[in-house]
């Protein structure tokens, strides 16, 4: 057996297993993504990298989680990254520059600017979620969509790690 044949026999199965595992992990477990817009500033900057855990069946979402999803915007093919504001059954309202959930004012220390609009109140339907960007006044999010709720089957995953690329460039 020549060296090339031995090399192929030794490495091809290992490479095939690595490729298949990589595709499975990326499709069903976790994936790295980058942020293309300013909608999550100051929390996440343009170009920052995110690790998104896709096993939503194994975790529970809670208020404040940052989630990646397909938006309920006709013709939109890009994924969105926003903060989870409303769970099924929550009543969400924005008034006087503040967010209210179920009648209680929500403390949002991650915002740098007060909201300059009013919205709601709306009740989040069963199997749906309500998302807003942290850069609320410029974010194209639930307060601007015709349908402000994201169906559960449109969720991709929860952000579990942010890699601030903008800080590495300095």
Active site residues: 39, 82
CA–CA–CA angle 127, 151, 106 (5° rounding): 75
Structure tokens at 67: 């989630």
Distances (CA, A) of 117 to 73, 95, 113, 149: 20, 7, 12, 18
CB proximity list for 42: less than 8 A, separation 6 or greater: 110, 112, 134, 135
* Selection from 140, 159, 158 nearest residue 78 by Cα: 140
Residues 117/137, Cβ–Cβ less than 8 Å:
yes
Q: Is the peptide bond before 59 cis (omega within 30 degrees of 0)?
A: no
Q: How many CA atoms lie within 13 A of 63 on its CB side?
A: 16
CB proximity list for 96: less than 8 A, separation 6 or greater: none
């Amino acid at each position: 057996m020549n060296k090339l044949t031995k090399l192929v026999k030794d490495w091809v199965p290992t490479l095939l297993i690595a490729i298949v595992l990589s595709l499975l992990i990326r499709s069903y477990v976790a994936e790295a993504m980058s942020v293309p817009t300013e909608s999550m500033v100051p929390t996440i900057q343009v170009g920052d990298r995110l690790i998104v855990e896709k096993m939503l069946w194994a975790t529970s979402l809670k208020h404040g989680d940052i989630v990646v999803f397909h938006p309920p915007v006709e013709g939109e093919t890009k994924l969105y990254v926003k903060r989870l504001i409303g769970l099924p059954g929550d009543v969400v309202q924005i008034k006087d520059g503040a967010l209210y959930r179920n009648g209680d004012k929500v403390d949002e220390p991650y915002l740098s600017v007060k909201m300059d609009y009013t919205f709601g109140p709306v009740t989040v339907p069963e199997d749906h979620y309500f998302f807003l960007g942290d850069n609320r006044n410029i974010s194209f999010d639930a307060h601007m969509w015709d349908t402000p709720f994201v169906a559960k089957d449109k969720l991709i995953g929860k952000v579990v790690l942010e890699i601030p690329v903008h800080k590495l460039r300095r």
